[in-house]
């Protein structure tokens, strides 16, 4: 990140969907996509940013879709939580191959592969410039990894939530279906809730609003966007208290 300016934020929560790890595959983890994400995160850490992460598990299993196929919703959600652990361990391996010290913490105890999420310990890891990957959601069924991201951002005193998606921000309509859809550069928590904009689920938005943590939505498809978002470049959509 040298020569391109200083990061705008010191401590960030990065939310990745499980689908972000698929690349062009229909399911699972694409090694090339995983490597690219790890390269970008390593660059961010080298700039002195303290980074916590929450990763979804939709590339492996979704509790909601499992429920439609006859699996009990609670059991399905627990299966989804385990899927997030698989993704977290894959990213940890990729990061540590690049010399980035990483800790995977889980909301469900599984001490053979990760440490339990303990707020004070996680904050100490961040202070030591270790990437903290928060897996297994909130540990409770019926809560999405979006809610987990907002919860961990609150607990770890993050300045902002970065949500990396397949589209470059919030639109007035689905840009893949409506060519006239326009990107909304800035908006408020209230508008997101009242207009039901597809940003995060309502519980996550309400958690972020309660602590005035802004949410920045941007595309992960373009290489270098994590760095650009940290520098404050206009590449996505901001949700905050003071947005118009």
Q: Which helix (H) or strand (E) holds 32?
A: helix 31-46
pTM: 0.92
CA dist 88 and 18 (Å) reads: 10
What does the pLDDT read at residue 3? 42
In the three-class reduction of DSSP (H, G, I as helix; E, B as strand; rest coil), residue 192 is classed as helix
Q: How does DSSP classify residue 37?
A: H
Q: What is the CATH number of domain 11-240?
A: 3.40.1160.10
Is the pLDDT reported for residue 2 higher than 50?
A: no
Radius of gyration of the chain (CA): 17
Which residues lie across from 5 on neighbouring strands? none
Q: Which helix (H) or strand (E) holds 96?
A: helix 73-96
Q: How does DSSP classify residue 19?
A: G
For the segment 59-68, the average pLDDT, to the nearest whole number, is 70
Q: Where are the domains of the chain?
A: 11-240
Predicted confidence (pLDDT) per residue in 179-224, tens digit: 888 889 999 999 999 988 878 999 999 999 999 999 999 999 889 9
Q: Give the pLDDT band (50/70/90) at residue 63.
A: low
Q: For residue 111, which phi and psi values (nearest 5 degrees)?
A: -65, -15
Strands annotated E in the chain: 11-16, 50-55, 102-106, 115-116, 131-135, 160-165, 170-171, 183-184, 186-188, 215-219, 236-240
Token pair recorded at residue 110 = 């599984």
What does the pLDDT read at residue 93? 98
């Amino acid at each position: 990140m040298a020569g391109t300016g200083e990061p705008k934020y010191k401590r960030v929560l990065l939310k990745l969907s499980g689908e972000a790890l698929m690349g062009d595959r229909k399911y699972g983890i694409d090694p090339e996509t995983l490597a690219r994400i790890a390269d970008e995160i390593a660059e961010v850490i080298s700039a002195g940013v303290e980074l916590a992460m929450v990763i979804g598990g939709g590339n492996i299993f979704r509790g909601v879709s499992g429920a439609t196929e006859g699996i009990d919703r609670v059991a399905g959600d627990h299966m989804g939580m385990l899927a997030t652990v698989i993704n977290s361990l894959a990213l940890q391996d990729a990061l540590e191959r690049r010399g980035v010290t990483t800790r995977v913490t889980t909301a469900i105890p599984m001490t053979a592969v990760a440490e339990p999420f303990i707020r004070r310990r996680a904050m100490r890891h961040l202070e030591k410039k270790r990437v903290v990957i928060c897996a297994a959601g909130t540990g409770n069924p019926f809560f999405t990894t979006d809610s987990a991201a907002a919860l961990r951002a609150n607990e770890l005193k993050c300045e902002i939530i970065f949500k990396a998606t397949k589209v470059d921000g919030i639109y007035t309509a689905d840009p893949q279906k409506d060519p006239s859809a326009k990107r909304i550069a800035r908006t408020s928590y209230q508008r997101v809730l009242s207009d039901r904009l597809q940003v995060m689920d309502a519980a996550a938005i309400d958690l972020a609003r309660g602590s005035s943590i802004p949410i920045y939505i941007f595309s992960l498809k373009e290489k270098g966007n994590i760095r650009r978002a940290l520098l404050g470049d206009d590449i996505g959509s901001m949700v905050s208290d003071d947005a118009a």
